[in-house]
Chain A
Amino acid sequence: MTDGAQNVGARTAAPRHQITDTQGMGYLSTLPRRVVTVYIPLAIFLFVLLFPFYWMAVTTFKPNDELYNFRAHNPFWIAKPTLANVEKLLFQTSYPEWLWNTMVVAVSATFLSIFASVLAAYAIVRLRFHGAEPVGLAIFLAYLVPPSILFIPLATMVYGLDLYDTNWALILTYPTFLIPFCTWLLMGYFKSIPYELEECALIDGATRIQILWKITLPLAVPGLISAGIFAFTLSWNEFIYALAFISSSEQKTVPVGVLTQLVEGDVYHWGALMAGALFGSLPVAILYSFFVEHYVSSLTGAVKE
């Protein structure tokens, strides 16, 4: 009975089928059947998806003789954990500088993009200027232009503007893929804020800028967080621009530095490489763990809009 009532309630309250009855027909399948059809395949998926991270972590803390001798040591476990690889990474390479560069670039590019995107999204959704719809569509199309076809002309521009080998080359080019995404996401959030609130403020004599600053933005904070962490992650993970526009070791970002500087000729320092990969992944993984829901909503929201 309660299930039925909930369903009716859900349907009348939310026309978009907000499902409260997540159980569905689940009660029909028995436990042994669920183990075979759901839990075992899911466990295999999880194992495959997470194994590379485990392998990364295990390799990071292994001493070299265990790393290269599977006969004498069980490769899946560490007999004598060591911090030698981490020490080598932190004190014998420019890794701390790469982390700092990545942080500076990611934070600056994120703030620049959020600033530009908030204004653009507000103008498109709320000011509804003449031609707002084609502009909105153009921004969506800009999202579909991949960096792989832009990096060559951008490299000539970066060189011409005398930005080559500086953080500015990345801070100014990352918004090309951040702004379209953030604007598209924020347009969706702004649309969901009732227009009546702004009308009330207009009648009370607020200017458009006051409305944006005092009414719309406070209500769009979840959207701002989503866009912000997504933009930060995308900038942190960016590779091709950082590879093409930066040449000196101390200016590199983590992904480029780990890949190009930790390999000396044919000698691969796997322990240090894995340590670099592990510690380069941790900041985004930690950020992600705090904002999982925002992250998922921005990921799926961008696709669903």
Chain B
Amino acid sequence: MAILVQRNGVRRGRTLLELLDDRRVLSFLFMLPAGGLLLIFLTYPLGLGIWLGFTDTKIGRPGIFTGLENYVSLFQDSVFLLSVFNTILYTSVATVLKFGLGLWLALLLNNSMPFKAFIRAIVLLPYIVPTVLSAIAFWWIYDAQFSIISYVLVELGWIDTYIDFLGQPNAARASLIAANVWRGIPFVAICLLAGLQTISPSLYEAAAIDGANAWNRFRHVTVPMLMPILSVVLTFSVLFTFTDFQLIYAITRGGPVNATHLMATLAFQRAIPGGQLGEGAAIATAMIPFLIFATLFSYYGLQRRKWQQGGRDD
């Protein structure tokens, strides 16, 4: 009897170990922390956000289903329409500048030069430092009375009065875009530099022997070879610029008079300080179609890359 019990115990112990070594059981256990956290704090709120967009929930008061009411009122709301315009303007102008200048910087860094590693390291600094904190520095640089840019331009005799960077809608938009470009260039440049470094110099040599000049080599060697990584970086950049919040909140908070609100800052403004959770969620949900577009773009960009390298689509 005793022996039987003991045997049973041993058997049970072994099965537990075996169970833990079973691929399917172990996979499930291993996926549990990541899967659980993502399902609870990412997938569920994503659905909840879309649902909240169809309700009139306020802070401290559960809402009732109101259908498309939020969206109907938003499309008659000039502040919301302006924020959509601002978001598209901000994203497109900032992205073009970031990629133009970022590609240029990457090409410069791809030359051999003294202290190359050090220069590459400090170039990335604007991207490392907390965005809000560098945004505060820009806020100070854009100050109406004590702007260093205005001071230098006045001293040089190029302008007579200090520029009101953040007081006028268009100047404020331009200032925000400049700050975003400043922060985005290093990311684009370092990623594209990694792409440039995988291009074999022999391709350039072959092109040069065939009579290609510098522009031709750039256009017909660099650009096609860089395209796959460029499309991925572009997707990430567009995605994060489109949903940008920190820079605008830190520098203008949507002002002057709501002229520089992006969709993300307007959603925050309406939902958290304003208490209109339903309306804020509707604004946030309105960004999703653009994000899906960007994601599909990224997916096909990735596929194309494997194909271009002669790899299989696994």
Neighbour of B136 across the interface among A53, A132, A208, A277, CB < 8 A: A277
Q: Indicate whether A183 reaches chain B with its CB closer than 8 angstroms.
A: yes
Neighbour of A70 across the interface among B120, B151, B245, CB < 8 A: B151
| A207 near B182: Cβ-Cβ < 8 Å | no
Q: Indicate whether B190 reaches chain A with its CB closer than 8 angstroms.
A: yes
Neighbour of B111 across the interface among A26, A49, A304, CB < 8 A: A26
CA distance A188 to B129 in the complex (A): 26
Cβ contacts under 8 Å, B30 to chain A: 119-120, 122-123, 127
Nearest chain B residue, comparing its CB with the CB of A157: B45
| Cβ contacts A91-109/B at 8 Å (1 or 0 each) | 0000000000000000000
Q: Indicate whether B277 reaches chain A with its CB closer than 8 angstroms.
A: yes
Total contacts A-B at CB 8 Å: 303
Q: Indicate whether B4 reaches chain A with its CB closer than 8 angstroms.
A: no
Q: Which residues of B contact A (CB under 8 A)?
A: 17, 20-21, 23-24, 26-35, 37-38, 41-46, 48-49, 52, 57, 101, 104-105, 108-109, 111-113, 117, 119-126, 128-134, 136-138, 140-141, 143, 146, 148, 151, 182, 185-187, 190-191, 194-195, 197-202, 204-205, 208, 229, 232-233, 236, 239-240, 243-246, 249-250, 264, 267-268, 271-272, 277, 280-281, 284-285, 287-288, 291, 294-295, 298
CA distance A247 to B175 in the complex (A): 29
Known A-B contacts A75-B151, A239-B131, A284-B128; the reply to A274 vs B46 at CB < 8 A is no
| B200 near A259: Cβ-Cβ < 8 Å | no
Nearest chain A residue, comparing its CB with the CB of B23: A127
| B245 near A239: Cβ-Cβ < 8 Å | yes
| A270 near B140: Cβ-Cβ < 8 Å | yes
* 23 contacting pairs across A/B (C-beta < 8 A): A21-B201, A42-B113, A49-B185, A117-B34, A119-B29, A119-B32, A129-B27, A149-B49, A149-B264, A152-B267, A152-B277, A157-B41, A176-B42, A180-B38, A208-B23, A208-B26, A274-B136, A276-B136, A285-B128, A285-B129, A295-B128, A299-B187, A300-B191
Known A-B contacts A179-B34, A304-B194; the reply to A22 vs B112 at CB < 8 A is yes
| B105 near A45: Cβ-Cβ < 8 Å | yes
Cβ contacts under 8 Å, B143 to chain A: 270
Nearest chain B residue, comparing its CB with the CB of A34: B111
Neighbour of B133 across the interface among A148, A175, A281, A292, CB < 8 A: A281
Q: Indicate whether A39 reaches chain B with its CB closer than 8 angstroms.
A: yes
| A244 near B268: Cβ-Cβ < 8 Å | yes
Cβ contacts under 8 Å, A34 to chain B: 111
CA distance A135 to B30 in the complex (A): 13
Q: Which of A121-136 contact B (CB under 8 A)?
A: 122-124, 127-130, 132, 135
Cβ contacts under 8 Å, B198 to chain A: 16-17, 19
Nearest chain A residue, comparing its CB with the CB of B284: A149
Q: Indicate whether A258 reaches chain B with its CB closer than 8 angstroms.
A: yes
Neighbour of B125 across the interface among A24, A50, A117, CB < 8 A: A50
Distance to closest chain A CB from B14 (angstroms): 12
| B205 near A300: Cβ-Cβ < 8 Å | no
Q: Indicate whether A38 reaches chain B with its CB closer than 8 angstroms.
A: yes
| B264 near A148: Cβ-Cβ < 8 Å | yes
Distance to closest chain A CB from B28 (angstroms): 8
CA distance A59 to B21 in the complex (A): 60
Give the interface size bracket for A toward B. 35 or more
- Determine, out of A78-86, A138-146, A193-201, A213-221, the stretch whose residues face the partner at the interface: A138-146
Best-surrounded residue of A42, A49, A173, A285 (most CB of chain B within 10 A) = A49
Neighbour of B123 across the interface among A49, A122, A303, CB < 8 A: A49
Nearest chain B residue, comparing its CB with the CB of A292: B121
Nearest chain A residue, comparing its CB with the CB of B246: A239
| B245 near A240: Cβ-Cβ < 8 Å | yes
| B34 near A145: Cβ-Cβ < 8 Å | no
Known A-B contacts A156-B57, A292-B121; the reply to A281 vs B129 at CB < 8 A is yes
Neighbour of B108 across the interface among A45, A55, A132, A146, CB < 8 A: A45
| A123 near B31: Cβ-Cβ < 8 Å | yes
| A284 near B130: Cβ-Cβ < 8 Å | yes
Nearest chain A residue, comparing its CB with the CB of B193: A300
| B208 near A25: Cβ-Cβ < 8 Å | yes
Known A-B contacts A26-B112, A149-B284, A285-B128; the reply to A157 vs B37 at CB < 8 A is no
| B136 near A259: Cβ-Cβ < 8 Å | yes
Q: Which of A48-94 contact B (CB under 8 A)?
A: 48-50, 52-53, 55-56, 59, 67-68, 70, 75
Neighbour of B200 across the interface among A19, A280, A281, CB < 8 A: A19
